[in-house]
């Protein structure tokens, strides 16, 4: 599996707040889904920003095979421009990259249909529910057909039913386009459900506490949450987290 992004010997220090992350090493293979799990403040969002190229590390190397426009980010809040329609929001990355308005809007409408928002092209963010707004945000991230998709606790603000629905839909979308995904969460079960590999991080400054490989097909079969494999993986990840928390407490 070719590597599309990697963090090597990364350390991030914030002035006045000390070490936020590291030393931390991480590799992302093409088309794989990796979850970063850790307590609040462990630097998992920082790791994501490094992978996105939005922030430089204090020490270490960030390697990115994906070029400009091939990496997309979805934040915890949908981060849609309120003055733009759903279609215009989704078309934005294409238009900023120089695509003309017509084709950009057509591609945006198609991507909205794929995330289950067909017919909502003209709706404004204020008219969308939380789940729909997150779908629009996902559509904006996917419209450029990215090689790397970075998700920073994308479902944290949603209710349980909506999150489960979105998790399944995201896996279905992944199966269509096969981007490599880094999924940041503090929810162990969500991490195991989404990812083929779960990286557990220590409390800040975050390091790798351990990894759990999840052996199951994606998208997940119905009832996957009740299977022995799911429970065992979730147990192992929880145990790693418990040990990591205990080590510093």
Partner 1 sequence: MRRWVGFLAPTLFIAILLGAWEAACRLLAVPDALLPPPSEIGQALWRNAGLLFVSAGRTLASALIAYAWVTLLANVAAVGAASSRIVEASFKPIAVALQVTPIVALAPMVAVWSGVEHPERAVVALAVVVGFFPIYSGSLAGLSATDPELERLFDLYGATGWQRLLRLRIPSAIPQALEGQKVGLGLALVGAVMGELSAGSGSTEGLAWRIMEASHRLEMAKSFAALVALALLGGALYVGFQAFEGAALAWWRGRPAQRR
Least CB distance from residue 96 to partner 1, whole Å? Answer: 4
Closest CA to 37 of 160, 235, 236, 183: 183
Q: Residue 241: what are its φ and ψ, rounded to 5°?
A: -65, -40
The stretch among 58-66, 125-133, 174-182, 218-226 that binds partner 1 (CB under 8 A) is 125-133
Residue 123 interacting with partner 1 (CB under 8 A): yes
**Residue 59 is encoded by which pair of tokens?**
């020490």
Residue 81 interacting with partner 1 (CB under 8 A): yes
In the complex with partner 1, the residue whose CB is nearer, 138 or 240, is: 138
Residue 65 interacting with partner 1 (CB under 8 A): no
Compute the distance between CA of residue 24 and CA of residue 205 in angstroms, rounded to an integer. Answer: 9
- Can you tell me which of 22, 48, 51, 71 binds partner 1, judged by CB under 8 A? 71
For residue 135, give the 3-state DSSP assignment: helix
In the complex with partner 1, the residue whose CB is nearer, 87 or 200, is: 87
The stretch among 29-37, 51-59, 157-165, 220-228 that binds partner 1 (CB under 8 A) is 51-59
Residue 82 interacting with partner 1 (CB under 8 A): yes
Least CB distance from residue 231 to partner 1, whole Å? Answer: 35
For 23, how many CA atoms within 13 A lie in the half-sphere containing its CB? Answer: 5
**DSSP bridge pairs for 62:** 7
Q: Which residues of 189-224 are buried (b: 16+ CB within 10 A; e: fewer)?
A: bbbbbbbbbbbbbbbbbbbbbbebebeeebbbeeeb
Residue 126 interacting with partner 1 (CB under 8 A): yes
Is 41 in contact with 71 (CB distance < 8 Å)?
A: no
Residue 83 interacting with partner 1 (CB under 8 A): yes
The stretch among 13-21, 64-72, 156-164, 167-175 that binds partner 1 (CB under 8 A) is 64-72
Which residues in the 227-246 window bind partner 1 by CB under 8 A?
Answer: none
Is 167 in contact with 155 (CB distance < 8 Å)?
A: yes
In the complex with partner 1, the residue whose CB is nearer, 59 or 122, is: 122
Strands (E) in 153-207, as ranges, are 180-185, 197-201
The stretch among 3-11, 47-55, 101-109, 172-180 that binds partner 1 (CB under 8 A) is 47-55
Which positions touch partner 1 (CB under 8 A)? 52-54, 68-69, 71-73, 75, 77, 79, 81-85, 92-93, 95-97, 123-127
């Amino acid at each position: 599996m070719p590597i599309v992004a990697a963090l090597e010997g990364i350390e991030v220090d914030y002035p006045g707040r000390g070490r936020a992350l590291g030393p931390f090493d991480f590799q992302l293979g093409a088309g794989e889904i990796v979850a970063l799990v850790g307590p609040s403040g462990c630097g998992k969002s920082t790791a994501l920003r490094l992978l996105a190229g939005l922030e430089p590390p204090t020490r270490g190397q960030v390697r990115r095979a994906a070029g400009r426009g091939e990496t997309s980010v979805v934040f915890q809040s949908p981060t849609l421009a309120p003055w733009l329609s759903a279609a215009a929001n989704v078309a934005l990355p294409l238009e900023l990259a120089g695509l003309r308005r017509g084709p950009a809007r057509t591609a945006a409408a198609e991507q909205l249909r794929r995330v289950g928002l067909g017919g909502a092209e003209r709706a404004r963010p204020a008219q969308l529910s939380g789940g729909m707004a997150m779908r629009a945000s996902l559509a904006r991230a996917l419209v450029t057909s990215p090689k790397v998709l970075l998700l920073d606790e994308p479902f944290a603000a949603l209710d349980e039913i909506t999150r489960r629905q979105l998790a399944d839909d995201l896996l279905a979308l992944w199966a269509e386009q096969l981007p490599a995904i880094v999924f940041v969460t503090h929810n162990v079960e969500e991490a195991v459900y989404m990812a083929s590999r779960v990286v557990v991080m220590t409390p800040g400054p975050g390091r790798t506490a351990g990894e759990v490989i999840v052996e199951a097909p994606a998208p997940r079969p119905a009832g996957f949450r009740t299977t022995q494999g799911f429970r065992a993986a979730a147990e192992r990840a929880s145990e790693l987290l418990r040990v990591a928390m205990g080590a510093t407490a």
